């Protein structure tokens, strides 16, 4: 593409020729030395980051082959066209959209945002869209996928160049609808600013990411950006009004489709039954009632279903396809994913991504009614992330579980023991046991090694018990002191429960 097609859409000061052919738009300089080919003929975008300023990489990008630079300030003594703009994040979004041919114009794009429930809602919508005869693609936390193709997901919402590239690939592959998890980081950083959303879902807002956003008000402001975009484009806003932030958002949104577990919303359950391994409900909607049956359990998953129903109805999808889509979704990776033990002393175990206080509380509240024995929880908190949620998660786990085993999650650059101490600060009124003890009453223990913690939990579980391993869900790695190693909760837990304990122990070292 000729650079002038991009610069004419920007508020830019240009030095150098714009009548040059660019072959890519890139903002990632990390792999220049390893593979400079992606930069040959590219427009390199210098983004000021939290820790590193992309402007410092401009000379390296140009030496690797970039022929133009998009930035907020000029770099002296480089042989490349320089396009200087007041807001480079806004500019890279526009540039990426134009370079890839404005693909979101050709797709029905649905945004899903909120602290918890985004991934499950995208899976439900994907299943409904398939049953309605459409060809959906998904961009989210677990992966990016379409037409049987699966790509790894380094970010929940990719940077603008990668995002529009994927949207273009989806369009060219015949995808009709894209369901996208839109994170607060992505909204604040304008990664999706030039996507044309036809509908958006607000799931909830709870304590998370305050290491980045600093306050809940700022966190909410960033989430609200999606609905401001929808309002300006006459898209459908589907909002959970059981959440206090959702009620505030609904008051600001024109003609919002609301959902709630209680009467008074556009979509709500007239009646619901939470069964072992299933949820059945009769849902009231503005288009009529529908009886649903789903493999997903818990009130919070019912909320996710209600949000998906609201979106589907806003897109004109029929009730029959919605019912079939909900019924056919058997699992969501790492979201209350069930494993059942074999043998005489049968107990159930679940792996869940719950990494916030609210998500952990919801998961435990979903499991308590179907647990006849003890409820055992294994969890930790990630390092280099919001520290404020650690004691709250400790309090919730200890209050709702019969036994809590506090362990490591992804400690990253932090000392795992210090993270555990911050979790323990929230645990009150229950006894602390050593890892060698067999607890005789409600309490908790600390087992820093995650593999050992899961193994200990399995050894303590008995008939009728339920074991929840929370925090990592679908993730298949653990990051300790900057080293990323393979670790999959579901794989470890399943192996221990199904007689592969020797193999698992060997793999864990």
Tens of pLDDT, residue by residue over 478-492, are 999 989 999 999 999
- 62-104: pLDDT as tens digits: 998 999 999 999 999 999 999 999 999 999 999 999 999 999 9
Element (H, E) at 111: strand 108-113
Nearest to 335 by CA among 113, 484, 116, 125: 116
- 341-376: pLDDT as tens digits: 776 568 999 999 999 999 999 999 999 988 999 999
CA dihedral 489, 491, 495, 501 (to 10 degrees): -60
Is residue 39 over pLDDT 90?
no
| Per-residue pLDDT band at 28 (split at 50, 70, 90) | confident
Nearest to 377 by CA among 397, 399, 393: 397
Mean pLDDT to the nearest integer, 458-473: 95
| Per-residue pLDDT band at 453 (split at 50, 70, 90) | very high
Is residue 505 over pLDDT 60?
no
Q: For the chain, where do the domains classified as CATH 3.40.1390.10 start and end?
A: 4-99
Provide the pLDDT for residue 275.
77
Question: Which two three-digit tokens encode residue 77?
Answer: 């003594």
Provide the pLDDT for residue 438.
95
Is residue 22 over pLDDT 70?
yes
Nearest to 295 by CA among 200, 366, 347: 366
The CB density around residue 272, as the number of other CB atoms within 10 Å, is: 15
Q: Decide which of 28 and 122 is more confident.
A: 122
Question: Which two three-digit tokens encode residue 283?
Answer: 């849902």
How far apart, in whole angstroms, are the C-alpha atoms of residue 330 and residue 490? 16
SS (H, E, C) 374-414: CEEEEECCCCCCCCCHHHHHHHHHHHHCCEEEECCCCCECC
Provide the pLDDT for residue 501.
45
Q: Decide which of 98 and 506 is more confident.
A: 98
Fold of 103-328: 3.40.1190
How far apart, in whole angstroms, are the C-alpha atoms of residue 418 and residue 423? 9
How far apart, in whole angstroms, are the C-alpha atoms of residue 137 and residue 306? 21
Provide the pLDDT for residue 277.
77
Question: Looking at the DSSP assignment, which residues form a beta bridge with residue 403?
Answer: 376, 443
Cβ-count burial of 275 within 10 angstroms (0-12 exposed, 13-18 middle, 19+ buried)?
A: exposed
Residue 228 makes CB contacts below 8 A (sequence gap 6+) with: none
Q: Does domain 4-99 have CATH number 3.40.1390.10?
A: yes
Q: Let me know: does 95 contact 4? Beta carbons within 8 Å.
A: no
**On the CB side of 89, how many CA atoms lie within 13 Å of its CA?**
13
Nearest to 350 by CA among 480, 427, 362: 362
Is residue 509 over pLDDT 90?
no
Element (H, E) at 124: helix 118-131
Is residue 400 over pLDDT 70?
yes
Nearest to 119 by CA among 326, 353, 280: 353
Q: Decide which of 35 and 160 is more confident.
A: 160
- 314-350: pLDDT as tens digits: 999 999 999 999 999 999 999 999 887 776 568 999 9
Provide the pLDDT for residue 276.
73
* Least confident window among 186-200, 301-315, 492-506: 492-506
Q: Does domain 337-507 have CATH number 3.40.50.970?
A: no
Cβ-count burial of 2 within 10 angstroms (0-12 exposed, 13-18 middle, 19+ buried)?
A: exposed
Residue 41 makes CB contacts below 8 A (sequence gap 6+) with: 21, 22, 23, 24, 65, 66, 67
Q: For the chain, where do the domains classified as CATH 3.90.190.20 start and end?
A: 337-507
Question: Looking at the DSSP assignment, which residues form a beta bridge with residue 11?
Answer: none
Work out the mean pLDDT of the chain and round it to a whole number. 92
Provide the pLDDT for residue 435.
96
How far apart, in whole angstroms, are the C-alpha atoms of residue 255 and residue 287? 15
Question: Which two three-digit tokens encode residue 146?
Answer: 């379409």
Q: Let me know: does 9 contact 98? Beta carbons within 8 Å.
A: yes
Q: List, in sequence order, the alpha helices (H) in 284-411.
A: 299-314, 319-328, 357-367, 389-400
* Least confident window among 24-28, 116-120, 122-126, 425-429: 24-28
Q: For the chain, where do the domains classified as CATH 3.40.1190.10 start and end?
A: 103-328
**Residue-level length of the chain:** 509
Question: Looking at the DSSP assignment, which residues form a beta bridge with residue 486?
Answer: 477
Q: Which residues of 343-378 are buried (b: 16+ CB within 10 A; e: fewer)?
A: eeeebbbbbbbbbbbbbbbbbbebbeeebeebbbbb
Is residue 502 over pLDDT 80?
no
Provide the pLDDT for residue 504.
42
| Per-residue pLDDT band at 40 (split at 50, 70, 90) | confident
Pairing between β-strand 483-486 and β-strand 477-480 as defined by DSSP bridges: antiparallel
């Amino acid at each position: 593409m000729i650079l002038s097609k991009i610069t004419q859409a920007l508020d830019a000061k240009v030095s150098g020729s714009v009548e040059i052919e660019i072959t890519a738009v890139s903002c990632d300089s990390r792999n220049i030395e390893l593979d400079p080919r992606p930069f040959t003929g590219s427009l390199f975008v210098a983004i000021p980051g939290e820790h590193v300023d992309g402007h410092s990489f401009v000379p390296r990008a140009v030496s690797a082959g970039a022929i133009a630079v998009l930035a907020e300030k000029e770099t002296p003594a480089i042989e490349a066209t320089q396009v200087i703009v007041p807001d480079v994040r806004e500019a890279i979004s526009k540039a990426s959209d134009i370079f890839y041919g404005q693909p979101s114009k050709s797709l029905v794009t649905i945004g899903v945002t909120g602290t918890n429930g985004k991934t499950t809602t995208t899976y439900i919508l994907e299943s409904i869209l398939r049953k309605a005869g459409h060809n959906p693609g998904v961009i989210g936390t677990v992966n990016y996928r379409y037409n049987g193709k699966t790509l790894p997901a380094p970010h929940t919402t990719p940077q603008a160049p990668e995002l529009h590239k994927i949207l273009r690939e989806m369009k060219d592959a015949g995808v009709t609808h894209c369901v996208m998890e839109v994170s607060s980081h992505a909204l604040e950083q304008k990664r999706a600013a030039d996507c044309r959303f036809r509908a958006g879902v607000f799931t909830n807002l709870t304590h998370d990411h305050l290491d980045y956003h600093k306050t809940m008000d700022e966190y909410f402001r960033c989430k609200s950006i999606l609905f401001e975009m929808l309002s300006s484009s006459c898209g459908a806003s589907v909002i959970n009004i059981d959440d206090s932030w959702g009620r505030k958002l609904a008051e600001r949104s024109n003609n919002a489709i609301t959902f709630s577990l209680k009467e008074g919303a556009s979509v709500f359950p007239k009646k619901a039954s939470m069964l072992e391994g299933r949820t059945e409900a009769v849902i009231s909607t503005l288009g009529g009632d529908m009886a649903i049956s789903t493999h997903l359990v818990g009130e919070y998953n019912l909320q996710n279903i209600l949000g998906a129903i609201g979106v589907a109805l806003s897109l004109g999808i029929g009730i029959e396809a919605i019912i079939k889509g909900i019924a056919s979704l058997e699992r969501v990776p790492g979201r209350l994913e069930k494993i059942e033990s074999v043998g005489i002393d049968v107990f159930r175990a679940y792996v869940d991504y719950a990494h916030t206080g609210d998500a952990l509380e919801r998961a435990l509240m979903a499991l308590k009614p179907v647990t006849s024995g003890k409820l055992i929880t294994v969890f930790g908190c990630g390092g280099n992330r919001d520290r404020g949620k650690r004691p709250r998660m400790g309090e919730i786990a200890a209050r709702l579980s019969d036994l809590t085993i506090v362990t490591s999650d992804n400690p990253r650059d932090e000392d795992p023991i210090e993270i555990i101490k911050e979790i323990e600060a929230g645990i009150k009124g229950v006894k602390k046991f050593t890892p060698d003890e067999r607890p005789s009453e409600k309490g908790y223990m600390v087992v820093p090694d995650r593999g050992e913690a899961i193994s200990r939990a399995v050894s303590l579980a008995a008939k009728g018990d339920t074991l929840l391993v929370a925090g990592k869900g679908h993730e298949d790695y653990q990051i300790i002191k900057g080293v990323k190693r393979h670790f999959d909760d579901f794989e470890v837990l399943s192996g221990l429960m199904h007689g592969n304990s020797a193999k698992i122990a060997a793999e864990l070292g």
